[in-house]
Amino acid sequence: MASKKQKKGKQVGKPYDDAFRAMYKRCQRLLLLLLNEAFGTNYSGDENVRFLPNETFRWREGDKKAKELVERISDSLFDVTDHNGNVRRFQVECQSKNDNNMAVRIMEYSLSFAFETGIAAKAKYTAQIHNTAVLYLRSSTTTPSFYEMEVVAPTKESIRWTVPTVKVADYTLDDLFSKKLYFLLPFYIFNFEKQLEKMEADPNERLVLTNMLETLKGKILELEKDGKLSTLDVDAIWDSSLLVAENVVRKYKNLGKEVQEIMAGKDYRTRSMVAYDKGELAGMEKSRLLAVARRLTRLFKSNRPIDAQEIADIAYDNDLSEEKVRLIAKENGISLS
């Protein structure tokens, strides 16, 4: 996605969410390689990925103690089918900082999605918990290496599972390339945050950051030349890296100028990105439009008003125009407020 103009020192929108979303939706092979690191899987990268609706609903007490339906949107939800036909469901949550409520959110998502896909057979109901991991763009000594989840039955029997975390701070740039964790490259600049003030004041210190960006740039272009990264992968990595870097250094005039000189020297919204936006990558586009239709249908069936703000949120979450969302609603016979 193209870089957004912003006022000095002010973050515009949700750039880190946008960068994650761009990588998630456009780089399926890189997403699979990230799963290998988080879950110990052995995906080659060409397995089938099917994106799923990532919103869930729950009832809670609202104003005047009336029950209201609350929508919760996860960062991702998708199925992976391996070469033997085995299907596993995954969710990766992206966090830019520590979240003390993360374990609660994971449990909410796990139980909600399990309920929605549960199987009822006569006097038996089976619900399956999917695989979840948390990606931390920033972390500290208190950031857990995993979360422990437990559900206790009335019989006192427990079902336990762990949710791994992946921390960008745990890797060097060489690590990311050697482990093929290309998905994390746009976020590597977070590892320099504590040094930015010093870099801003000292040109020699800034060389550490600018040299890193030049190295990153050279390596991904070399991998593209060798056929190990597609043009779409390279475009997404660089476009997302620019978006993240601009916002990380937004408070620093000298750093901002030098980052721009390195990263915004050409229009990286190349033909592959335009092709994606036009829907020429038909499989992913079809999945995305289907997810929007399902989300609208669920809101409609729950008698929840689908107003202008709801349309705007759906459009933002799915990288679509509001007009396109309205058209999908019309095509599915869904009335809007």
The pLDDT assigned to 1 comes to: 34
Token pair recorded at residue 219: 């390596």
What are the tens digits of pLDDT across the range 26-54?
A: 899 999 999 999 999 999 999 999 988 76
Predicted local confidence at residue 268, as pLDDT: 45
H/E/C letters for each residue in 105-138?
HHHHHHHHHHHHCCEEECCEEECCCCEEEEEECC
Q: Give the total residue count for the chain.
A: 337
Measured at the CA of 15, the angle between CA 10 and CA 18, to 5 degrees, comes to: 160
Q: Alpha-carbon distance 134 to 104, whole Å?
A: 13
Is pLDDT of 272 > 70?
A: no
* Region 118-147 average pLDDT: 92
The CA distance from 73 to 94, in Å, is 12
Higher-pLDDT residue of 20, 268: 20
Q: Give Cβ neighbours of residue 19 (< 8 Å, ≥ 6 apart).
A: 186, 187, 240, 241, 243, 244
- Taking only the tens place, the pLDDT of each residue in 68-95 is 555 567 789 999 999 999 999 999 999 9
Q: How far is CA 272 from CA 153, 223, 235, 282, 317, in A?
A: 50, 17, 8, 13, 21
CA distances from 36 to 31, 188, 197 (A): 9, 19, 36
Enclosing H/E stretch for 287: helix 282-301
pLDDT for position 2: 35
**Distance from C-alpha of 55 to C-alpha of 11, rounded to nearest angstrom:** 26
What gap in Å lies between CA 299 and CA 114, rounded to an integer? 19
The pTM of the full predicted model, rounded to 2 decimals, is 0.74
pLDDT, tens digit, 9 for 90 and up, residues 142-170: 999 999 999 999 999 999 999 999 999 99
What gap in Å lies between CA 172 and CA 300, rounded to an integer? Answer: 47
Residue-level pLDDT at 10: 56
Residue type, 210: T
- In the chain, the percentage of residues whose pLDDT exceeds 90 is 50
- The average confidence (pLDDT) of the chain is 84
Among 99-108, 143-152, 287-296, the minimum mean pLDDT is found in 287-296
